[in-house]
Homo-oligomer: A and B are copies of this chain.
Amino acid sequence: MSDLPHAPLPLDSHTVFFVSDGTGITAETFGHSVLTQFDLRFKQIRLPFIDNKEKAYEAYKRINDAYAEQGLRPIVFSTLVKAELADIIRQSQALHMDLIQTFVEPLEKELGVKSTHTVGRSHNMSDTKAYQNRIEAINFSMAHDDGQSHKNLVGADVILVGVSRSGKTPTSLYLAMQFGIKAANYPLIPDDFERGKLPSALYSYKGKIFGLTIAPERLSEIRNERRPGSKYAAIENCRYEVNEAEAMMKREGIRWLSSTAKSIEEIATTILQDLNRTDVEINW
C-alpha cells in the first residue's frame, strides 16, 4: 500500500473531509461514490470519532486551514448525528454534504416518529446476533478456504469453485464480511480434470455450488506475479485449465461467471442475486 504510485495531484484539487462521530466508513463509502462521478482527483482526509465539542472544533479548524492553504473551499461529507457537533462543523468554510441531516428529517415525517440520534450505530453493533453471524461467517470462510476442510460443508451458504487464482478467496471473504454469508471455496485442479469429475466431497452440495472463471490471459498474468516463468503460470497451461474447468461446470450444470473484469463487490452481489438473496437480513 505504501508504495502505491499516485498520479501527482493537480495543485488546485479540492480537499475532501469525511467527518463522523463513528468510524466514518459510511461517509467515506458514500463520498467516494459521489466523487467518482467527476474526472478529478481529490486529497481526502478521514476524521473519525468526532464525538465531542473539542474534537469538533479541531475538525472545524482543519477544514478552515485547508481552505486558507488552497484558496479552494474544501468539501465535507459528514454523518454527525448530534446536532451540536454538526452545527460546529457546518460553520467551517466548506461545501457541506450532511448525509444524516439531509435524509433524517423527511424520514421522521414519513414514519411519524423522531429519530433516536444515536451515534455510530451502523458500525457499532458488536453485541447483536447479526454481527456475531458475520464474525462466524468470516471464521467459516477462513476454515473452508481453498478446500482446506470438508467438515461442515452442510453449513455453507455457498461453495465457490474455480481454477487456482480465479478470485475465489477474496470473494468468499467479502461475502462473509459484508453479507454474513458462509462461503466455502474449492480449487479445481488438474487431477479433477483428468478424472473428469468434481471433487467428490462436493457432490452432495451441488445446489449451492457457484463457479468462477477467468480469461486465460489475465490468469497467466496473475500467476506470473506469484510464480514467474512457471508451468503453472504459462499461458498454454492457463488455457488448458480454464477450458477444462468451464467444460466441467457446463457438464455438471453449475452456474458460473467470469471474474476477469469484475470487482469482488460485483462478483459477490451477482452471486447473492443468483442465490435469491436480495432480501437483506435485518441486522440491527
Q: Tell me the complex Cα distance, A135–B135, Å.
A: 20
Q: Are A37 and B121 interface neighbours, CB within 8 A?
A: yes
Interface residue? A18 (CB, 8 A): yes
Cβ A37 vs Cβ B81 within 8 A? yes
Residues of B within 8 A of A278 (CB): 45-48
Q: A29: CB under 8 A from chain B?
A: yes
Q: Could you tell me if A121 and B1 are in contact, using CB atoms closer than 8 angstroms?
A: no
B37 touches A33 (CB 8 A): no
A51 to chain B, nearest CB (A): 12
A25-51 contacts to B (CB < 8 Å): 25-26, 28-30, 32-49
Interface presence of A54 (CB below 8 A):
no
Contact at A113–B40, with CB atoms within 8 Å? yes
Contacts A37-B117, A125-B263 known; A169 to B139 CB distance under 8 Å? yes
In whole angstroms, what is the CA distance A130 to B120 when docked? 27
Q: Which residues of B contact A280 (CB under 8 A)?
A: 18, 28, 44-46
Assembly CA distance A265 to B26 (angstroms): 11
**Which of B24, B110, B142, B157 is close to A73, meaning CB atoms less than 8 Å apart?**
B110
- Shortest A127–chain B CB gap in Å is 7
List chain B residues, Cβ under 8 A from A43: 279, 282
Q: Which residues on B sit within 8 Å (CB–CB) of A49?
A: 269-270, 273
Minimum distance in angstroms from A46 CB to a CB of chain B: 5
* Contacts A25-B269, A138-B169 given; does A34 touch B104 at CB 8 Å: yes
* Residue contact A177 to B180, C-beta cutoff 8 Å: no
Task: Determine the chain B residues whose CB is within 8 A of the CB of A2 once the complex forms.
Answer: 157
| Top-8 shortest CB links A-B | A44-B280, A123-B265, A37-B115, A36-B121, A23-B269, A33-B122, A26-B33, A126-B263
